[in-house]
Each structure stands twice: as structure tokens, then as C-alpha cells.
Amino acid sequence: MPIYEYHCDQCDKDFEYLVFGSEAPVCPNCEGNDVRKLMSACGFFSKGGGGETVRSSAGASSCTGCTATSCSSCGH
């Protein structure tokens, strides 16, 4: 069950929503259903070659064309 970020066009608020199956999100601020899913950056931890913890985030990308840390379409 993923948590998605949404923006409510009725009250102009952003919120997170835990999605169960095909359930439609409802704004917790105004209870409106005029919402759209936002693109969000994800963060993760991974182990480097020497066992050290390496932090990375899609928001820390050096690519100016997108927010991904690496992408096969632009080679970054």
C-alpha cells in the first residue's frame, strides 16, 4: 500500500494519502475529491562497495532536465 502525495485544487493544499487498492483519495483539509497526484522525489539508503552507507535522493540530481539521480535517456 503506497503513500502518494496529492494536491487539492479546491483548497490549494498538498497532502499525503495511503492508498488501499483502487480507493480514490479525499483531501483531509476540505474533504474534496478534486485532487491530482504529485510527482515526488524519493530518498533511499544503499551500501557502497566497501560496506559504507551511501545516501542518495532523486532531488540531489546534477541533471537539470529532470529530478532523477540517473537516467538512461540523458546519460546522467
Q: Which tens digits make up the pLDDT trace of 32-63? A: 999 999 987 666 666 666 666 655 544 444 45
**70 pLDDT exceeds 80?**
no
Q: What was the pLDDT predicted at 61?
A: 46
Round to whole Å and give the CA distance between 14 and 6. 6
**15 pLDDT exceeds 80?**
yes
CA angle 57, 14, 68 (to 5 degrees): 20
Q: What SS3 class is residue 13?
A: strand
